[in-house]
Amino acid sequence: MTYQSVQVKLKLKRSQHAVDLAMDGKWQEAVAENTAILETFPQDIEAYNRLGRAYMELGEYDQARQAYQRAL
């Protein structure tokens, strides 16, 4: 197994965990998970989109706007 394939599997697993947290309404935890994903994968558009949604749900609109702008 190559380093790249391990990274892809890690990204998929963490992304699913972030989605699961959001589906459970655990928005603060979703922010933390998506932020952690972005530390490893700083160009992950989907993580920025999920992060924006989590911030919206928390009423943190400035942070949501920033996340959505990064997604664009």
In contact, 71 and 49? CB cutoff 8 Å: yes
In contact, 55 and 61? CB cutoff 8 Å: yes
Distance CA 22, CA 60 (A): 15
Q: Tens digit of pLDDT for each residue in 4-61?
A: 888 889 999 999 999 999 999 999 999 999 999 999 999 999 999 999 999 999 999 9
Q: Tens digit of pLDDT for each residue in 54-70?
A: 999 999 999 999 999 99
Q: Quick count: other Cβ atoms within 10 Å of Cβ 27?
A: 18
In contact, 22 and 54? CB cutoff 8 Å: yes
Indicate the pLDDT class of residue 1, thresholds 50, 70 and 90: confident
